[in-house]
């Protein structure tokens, strides 16, 4: 094609047809411009297509992260419900005429077991989007807004859970607590570390009834643990609603892009 155009141009020059040559030159320029525009359009189309493919990849990755959030949240909710069960066991034991200290201390320990474990959302895809400067690849502005809100809200809920968890842990391990009367030497892993060659374990096990003052303190502590776990349960439900809403939105985006 190029050889043919060159030949036509040369013939026009040789024949002295200046007007025809000028028209031809203009036409050739127009063809070149059209060719450049077409090339640019194809390049833009290719880039746009790549962006859309990358957008689909990120929506899929975000959905995977949120699905992991849902699994983790379910695990934490189950653990919280288990702690609530043991709080009620603690209260039940403290309401008995004779308090079984070994059963009580183990029940109270289980009332706060893993209570400091908090929900942390999976951020791999979102962090990658931000750090790589590709957040703009998500063309749906409403989705971006909801993603930003999603992670901000979950972080705020996490702060609430940290506060209530710390309150229970501080109470359980408070320096003024009577650990002997509370039965701490009866905890399995504590008992396992007592050196019987040096320690008379029998003197660490109170034989008298639990004093009313200690019983009241432990009942108050149990109610605090119940409050902490109940608050975490309520916050977990709010988190669950956020996770489900985001998962539904991302599932919709993934299906639309496909």
Residue 246 lies in a domain: yes
**% of the chain surpassing 70 pLDDT:** 80
Task: Give the closest residue to 214 by CA, choosing from 99, 102, 84.
Answer: 99
The answer to whether position 49 is within a domain reads no
What is the model's pLDDT at position 95? 96
C-alpha span between 218 and 16 (Å, rounded): 112
Cα separation of 216 and 138, whole Å? Answer: 57
| Higher pLDDT among residues 81 and 255, named by residue | 81
What local confidence, expressed as pLDDT, does residue 138 receive?
A: 86
- Exposed (0-12), middle (13-18) or buried (19+): which is 59, by Cβ within 10 Å? buried
- Average pLDDT of the chain is 86
Q: Running DSSP on this structure, what letter comes out for residue 207?
A: -
Evaluate whether residue 234 is within a structural domain. yes
Q: Nearest to residue 250, comparing CAs of 138, 158, 154, 137?
A: 138
Instruction: Look at residue 213 in the predicted model and tell me its pLDDT.
Output: 94
Considering the domain boundaries, does residue 94 fall inside one?
Answer: yes
Q: What single string gives the DSSP state of each residue in 177-200?
A: S-HHHHTGGGSHHHHTT--TTT--
**Calpha distance 120→103 (Å, rounded):** 33
Q: What is the pTM of this model?
A: 0.79
Predicted pLDDT of residue 232: 97
* Lowest mean pLDDT across 25-29, 89-93, 153-157, 231-235: 25-29
Does residue 116 belong to any structural domain of this protein?
yes
Q: How many domains in the chain?
A: 1
State residue 250's pLDDT score.
Answer: 95
Position 92 in a domain: yes
Neighbours of 30 (CB within 10 A): 10
Extract long-range pairs of 98-102: CB within 8 Å, 24+ residues apart: 98/209, 99/209, 99/210, 99/215, 101/181, 101/182, 101/183, 101/186, 101/205, 101/206, 101/210, 102/183, 102/186
Residue 114 lies in a domain: yes
Q: Report the chain's C-alpha Rg in angstroms.
A: 36
DSSP state of 211: P
Average pLDDT over residues 203-212: 86
- The predicted pLDDT at position 134 comes to 81
What average pLDDT score do residues 200-222 get? 91
Residue 195 has what pLDDT? 94
CA 44 to chain centre: 36
Q: What is the mean pLDDT of residues 169-191?
A: 92
Contacts of residue 8, defined as CB under 8 A and 6 or more positions apart, other chains included, come to 24
Residue 78 lies in a domain: yes
Q: Residue 136: is its pLDDT beyond 90? A: no
Of the pLDDT bands very low, low, confident and very high (cuts 50, 70, 90), residue 204 is: confident
Q: Residues 214-258: pLDDT tens digits? A: 999 999 999 999 999 999 999 999 999 999 999 999 999 888 755
Domain of residue 168, residue span: 69-257
User: Minimal CA–CA distance to 224: which of 185, 157, 159, 174?
Assistant: 174
Residue 111 scores a pLDDT above 90: yes
pLDDT digits (tens, 9 = 90+) for 2-18: 555 456 555 545 565 55
């Amino acid at each position: 094609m190029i050889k043919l155009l060159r030949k036509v141009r040369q013939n026009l020059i040789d024949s002295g047809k200046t007007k025809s040559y000028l028209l031809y030159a203009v036409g050739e320029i127009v063809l070149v411009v059209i060719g450049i525009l077409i090339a640019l359009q194809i390049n833009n189309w290719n880039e746009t297509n790549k962006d859309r493919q990358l957008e689909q990849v990120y929506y899929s990755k975000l959905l995977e992260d949120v699905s992991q959030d849902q699994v983790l949240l379910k695990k934490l909710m189950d653990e919280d419900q288990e702690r609530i069960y043991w709080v009620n066991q603690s209260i039940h034991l403290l309401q008995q005429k004779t308090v079984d200290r070994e059963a009580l201390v183990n029940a109270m320990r289980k009332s706060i077991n893993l209570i400091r474990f908090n929900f942390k959302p999976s951020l791999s895809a979102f962090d990658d989007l931000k750090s790589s400067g590709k957040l703009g690849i998500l063309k749906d502005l409403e989705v971006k807004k909801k993603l930003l809100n999603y992670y901000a809200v979950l972080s705020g809920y996490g702060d609430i859970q940290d506060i209530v968890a710390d309150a229970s842990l501080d109470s359980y391990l408070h320096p003024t607590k009577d650990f002997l009367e509370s039965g701490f030497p009866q905890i399995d892993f504590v008992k396992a570390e007592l050196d019987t060659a040096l320690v008379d374990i029998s003197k660490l096990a109170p034989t008298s009834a639990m004093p009313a003052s200690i019983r009241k303190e432990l009942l108050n502590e149990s109610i605090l643990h119940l409050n902490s776990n109940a608050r975490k349960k309520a916050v977990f439900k709010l988190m669950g609603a956020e996770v489900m809403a985001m998962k539904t939105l991302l599932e919709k985006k993934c299906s639309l892009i496909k």
